[in-house]
Amino acid sequence: MFPNFTQFVISILFMFLVLTIRYLLVSSILYWLLWVRRPQSWEIRRLHDMDERKSKIKSEIKWSLWSCLVFAIPSGFMMEMIALGKTKVYFNLTEYDWWYVPISLFVYLFIHDTYFYWTHRWLHLPPIYRLFHKIHHESINPTPWTSFSFDPVESMITAIIIPIMVFIIPINIGVLAILLTLMTMFGVVNHTGYEVYPLSWMHGFWQENWITPTHHNLHHHKFNCNYGLYFRFWDRLMNTDVMIETPFMMQGDSGVLSQERTS
C-alpha cells in the first residue's frame, strides 16, 4: 500500500526542488517586472504602495521555502501512490466519457475552493489566527514573494486536500497537471499587488465569479472578507464578499476614466 521509504524520500526531495525553483523563478520575474521595473503604463493597475523593507521580503522568502518543503511531503506521497496505481488518477483519456474531463476539473476546483474557504475562515478565528495564520498576514501589502509565506501548519493544511481527493474522485493525469497549474497561478497572481487581468474582465462574468488580485488584496487589507481561492461563490453565499471599484476598473473602453462610473 505504501511506497518504498527511500523512494518516498527521493520524491519529497525532488518535489521540494521543483517547488522551490518554481517559486523563486516565477516570483522573481513578477517582482522584477512589477515592483522593480514598475512600468508607468501599469501604475493605474497598482493596488497599494510597496513595503520597501528588505527584512519583510527576506521573511516572506524564508517562510515560502519552508512551505515548499512542507508541500513536498504530500506531493511526493501522491506521486508515489500514482506510480503504484493506488489512486483514481488515470492516463488514458478514453477511460471515461469525453464530457467527464472538463467536469472533473470543475469538480476538483469547486471542492478545493470549498475546502480552502472554510479552512481559511477557521484560520481567522482569533486563537487559531495567532498560532497559524498571522505569518501570512504580516504581508499587508502583498508582493509575488508573499504567495507561499505560510506557517508550516497552515502549509500542511493547504497541501493535503488534492492528495486526498485523488484517492476518491477519478481525474486524468493531464487534468491534474492543469489543476496544479491553476492552483499555482491563482496563488501567485493574486498576491502580485497589481490587477493583472484585462480591463474587459473587470466587469461581467469573470469579475463577478472569479477571484482577482483586486479581490484578494482586500482580504489582506480588511482581514475579515474575501476568503476564497478560485471563486466568489462561498464569499457571496456567506456574506463575506467585498469589492471596490479601483481607478483601473473605472476606465472606459478607450482607456480613460469613465465619467458615468465616477460620477
Distance CA 210, CA 229 (A): 9
Structure-block grid coordinates of residue 81: 501512490
**Count of other CB atoms within 10 angstroms of residue 181:** 10
Distance CA 204, CA 102 (A): 22
90: part of which helix (H) or strand (E)? strand 89-90
Digitized pLDDT (tens) for each residue of the chain, 263 residues in all? 677 889 999 999 999 999 999 999 999 999 999 999 988 999 999 998 876 677 889 999 999 999 999 999 999 999 999 999 999 999 999 999 999 999 999 999 999 999 999 999 999 999 999 999 999 999 999 989 999 999 999 999 999 999 999 999 999 999 999 999 999 889 999 999 999 999 888 888 888 899 999 999 999 999 999 999 999 999 999 999 999 888 888 775 444 433 333 32
Distance CA 41, CA 173 (A): 40
